[in-house]
Chains A and B, each alone.
Chain A
């Protein structure tokens, strides 16, 4: 199992450019998440998808869009990059559904991260 994979690992963009960060998991997890990590700020939730076909905003969604392409894949798009979006981006997944579809609050498995610089 590869777990959670992210591409690319590094990216430099100019202000105004667009790009999509890709995330895939092979653990058959229901929920997927995108976080950003900035120095001294911890990780902050951008968007999440509790199940295939659903997405919801997190704490810092402005400037981003997401697509839950299927159960495995959850992409994050920056339509017009800004220097404030310079950050390390982490994708995560979790099972979150136990017996009978009840929420099980499982741990999240994180990808290796994408370091994005916007100049």
Chain B
């Protein structure tokens, strides 16, 4: 069975510091997608990025960047120059193709609570 591990339960940094959230996944499948979601204090889940197993290119979007390394089964997320509004719980997740040709649901890590102090 697949598994996603976010070893950092909580991280607290001062505003403007850079911070990296770690994500390690386990699966025997060769076709899968990885995701990051943000859950702010208001509770909704906000999609941040999706990456398929065949695309190891890193991605940068503004202050956010993601590093996908299949060799270490990791998909880490870095926030540069953090801001108070980045305070949230961040989830890494994995999805596999099921036998019927659809998706069998996301497997989530337990989340990292990021606190950005002013």
Instruction: List residues of chain A with CB under 8 Å of any chain B CB.
Output: 30-31, 33, 35, 40-45, 48, 50-51, 54, 56, 58-59, 88, 90, 92, 94, 96-97, 101-103, 105-110, 112-113
Contacts and interface: CB of A to CB of B under 8 A. Distances in A.
B59 to A, nearest CB: 14
Contacts of B32: 105
A23 B9 CA distance: 31
A113 B108 CA distance: 16
A44 B102 contact: no
A105 B50 contact: yes
Nearest to B34: A105
Contact of A112 (B43, B47, B104, B107): B43
A36 to B, nearest CB: 11
Contacts of B101: 50, 101-103
Given A88-B43, A112-B43, A56 B98 contact: yes
B62 interface: no
A44 B97 CA distance: 17
Contacts of A42: 91, 108-111
Given A90-B45, A101-B101, A113-B44, A45 B50 contact: no
Contacts of B44: 110, 112-113
Contacts of A48: 103-105
B110 A41 contact: yes
B37 to A, nearest CB: 8
A39 to B, nearest CB: 10
B60 interface: no
B47 A108 contact: yes
Interface in B10-31: none
Given A51-B100, A109-B47, 14 more contacts: A30-B102, A35-B105, A35-B106, A40-B110, A43-B106, A48-B105, A51-B102, A92-B106, A94-B103, A96-B103, A101-B101, A105-B95, A105-B97, A108-B47
18 contacts: A33-B105, A35-B105, A35-B108, A40-B9, A40-B110, A42-B109, A43-B91, A45-B104, A45-B107, A50-B98, A50-B104, A51-B102, A56-B98, A97-B102, A103-B101, A103-B103, A105-B50, A108-B106
